[in-house]
């Protein structure tokens, strides 16, 4: 499990710089699908970048299965990063490479080569996301939703324990969004992988998350099961996101 403790992140060196993350503490249970929701600038992307250590927290700890990962370096850091896959809004596929080569890319990055076994596994993953027959296509020949499914297959290549999705469906139309969300839920159910879904859409949270944390100005202002928070949001931020604010009150 992931235990985030008193996490602070300030960009730049200035003492008076605003906190992108301000004393965030949060637990993510194994096998959960956690939504992290908040307005633009609330700190959602900063939180995921800290979780996979693309960004170093200014202070605080991230403890994964009992190990503080914030101090990892070198080979240990690389091996931790392989346990934490990322799926981005803009898919992040390599345009010059085929779909199959994209899914194989994590193997290439990790070991410098792609074995027959790697290719066979990549094809299985493409099968899982329903795109095996597009293995030889190039990303530009696929729709946005299909590209995101390839990105999800690639994320699974290294058998991660965690998948971090940062606005993974924000660029997609409603039908493709649903397909991608269903796929993530199915992968969670079949493999037990823990998924953290960053989004500004309550609809996305409602569709696939079990728990939700609401970020506002770098702080967690509300958390709980999706059912509880949606039925009775307590924070102003959650009410605004759910559009349940009575502006005239």
Ligand X SMILES: Nc1ncnc2c1ncn2[C@@H]1O[C@H](COP(=O)(O)OP(=O)(O)OP(=O)(O)O)[C@@H](O)[C@H]1O
Mapped onto helix, strand or coil, the DSSP state of residue 190 is helix
CA–CA separation, 31 and 11 (whole Å): 31
199 binds Mg ion (CB under 5 A): no
Q: Where are the alpha helices (DSSP H) in the chain?
A: 44-51, 74-83, 99-111, 116-128, 144-156, 174-191, 202-208, 226-231, 236-241
Question: Rounded distance, CA 153 to CA 6, Å?
Answer: 33
Q: Strand, coil or helix: what is 78?
A: helix
Minimum distance of Mg ion from residue 44's CB (angstroms): 5
CB under 5 A: which stretch of 38-46, 74-82, 123-131, 216-224 binds Mg ion? 38-46
Q: How far is the CB of 223 from ligand X (least distance, A)?
A: 16
Question: Is residue 45 at the binding interface for Mg ion, with CB under 5 A as the rule?
Answer: yes
Q: Does 52 bind Mg ion (CB under 5 A)?
A: no
Q: Show the tokens assigned to 109.
A: 């990055």
Partner from ligand X, Mg ion, none binding residue 40, C-beta < 5-8 Å depending on class: ligand X
Binding interface with ligand X (CB under 6 A): 11, 20, 38, 40-46, 200
Q: What is the DSSP letter of 19?
A: E
* Nearer of residues 107 and 162 to ligand X, judged by Cβ: 162
- Rounded to a whole number of angstroms, the minimum distance from the CB of residue 164 to ligand X is 12
What does 200 bind: ligand X, Mg ion, none (CB cut-off 5 to 8 Å by kind)? ligand X
By CB under 5 A, name the binding residues for Mg ion. 45
């Amino acid at each position: 499990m992931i235990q985030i403790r008193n996490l602070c992140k300030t960009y730049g060196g200035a003492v008076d710089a605003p906190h992108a993350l301000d004393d965030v503490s949060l637990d993510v249970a194994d096998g959960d699908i956690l939504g992290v929701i908040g307005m633009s600038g609330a700190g959602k992307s900063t939180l995921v970048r800290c979780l996979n250590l693309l960004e170093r927290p200014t202070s605080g700890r991230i403890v994964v299965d009992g190990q503080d990962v914030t101090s990892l370096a070198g080979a240990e850091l690389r091996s931790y990063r392989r346990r934490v896959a990322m799926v981005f809004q803009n898919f992040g596929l390599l345009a010059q490479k085929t779909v199959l080569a994209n899914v194989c890319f994590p193997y290439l990055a990790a070991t410098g080569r792609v074995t027959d076994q790697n290719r066979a596994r990549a094809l299985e993953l493409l099968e899982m996301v329903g795109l095996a027959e597009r293995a030889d296509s190039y990303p530009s020949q696929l729709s946005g939703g299909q590209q995101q499914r390839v990105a999800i297959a690639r994320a699974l290549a290294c058998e991660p324990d965690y998948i971090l999705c940062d606005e993974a469906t924000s660029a997609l139309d409603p039908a493709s969004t649903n397909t991608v969300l269903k796929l993530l839920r199915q992968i969670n159910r079949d493999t037990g992988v823990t998924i953290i879904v960053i989004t500004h859409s309550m609809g996305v949270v409602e569709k696939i998350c079990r728990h939700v944390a609401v970020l506002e100005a770098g702080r967690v202002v509300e958390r709980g099961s999706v059912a509880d928070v949606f039925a009775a949001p307590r924070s102003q931020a959650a009410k605004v996101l759910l559009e349940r604010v009575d502006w005239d009150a």
